[in-house]
Amino acid sequence: MTFADFDNQLLLQGPALARLTDEEFYDLCQHNPTLRLERTADHNIIAMPPAGSESSRKSSEIIFQLMLWNRQHRLGYVYESSAGFVLPDGSIRSPDAAWLSRAAFEGLSEAQRQGFPPVCPQFVVEVRSPSDGLAALRRKMEAYLANGVQLGILLDPTNEQATVYRPGQAPEELADFDRELSAEPVLPGFALDLRPLRRA
């Protein structure tokens, strides 16, 4: 097993890790709850530092807005960063915020719902922490799209920059957080208000 610095993240590599099943990786995560672990499509494991308080606060604001919308419309389910999803390429990722349609959720067995479900959310948000490498987050967003995400938003609160990812389109770069971002048509009627995320 080897260790490598991967855009300010700890990357664990080795043949033993490549042989871990999805269930064994889930078990590894449950036995190490203080670590934020994800798995790449190559079955390398990424260990990320805990989010700082400001990053956590801003991620919570996004979850709050998404939950309010979802409670009103009841079209699916909202997840925060402790939920992992087994994507079609074999990676296991944990977006800062995610939404899964009711139809996709109902296609999962009860056992799958209890672990890391083999399904790709339709909507994801990643919030860049000061320790996060931007290049790594951009690659992660592109991987989400390749696996079936219909709308992804990458937020960089420090620089007040947002990047919107949609399948078949170039990423849309937006400056300043004095705006709302529409999630139509993936989330009908939902617009993410970025103003609460602005620098104090």
**Tens digits of residue pLDDT in 183-194:** 999 999 999 999
Residue 3 has pLDDT above 50, yes or no: no
Q: What tens digit of pLDDT does each residue of 116-157 get?
A: 999 999 999 999 988 788 888 999 999 999 999 999 999 999
Quick one: pLDDT at residue 49?
73
Q: String of b and e for 44-53 (b: at least 16 CB within 10 Å)? A: bbbebeebee
Average pLDDT over residues 47-55: 78
The SS3 call for residue 23 is helix
Assess if CATH 3.40.50.2300 describes domain 51-197.
Answer: no
Residue 8 has pLDDT above 80, yes or no: no
pLDDT band at 4 (very low <50, low <70, confident <90, very high): very low
Between CA 77 and CA 66 the distance in angstroms is 10
Cα Rg for the chain, rounded, in angstroms?
16
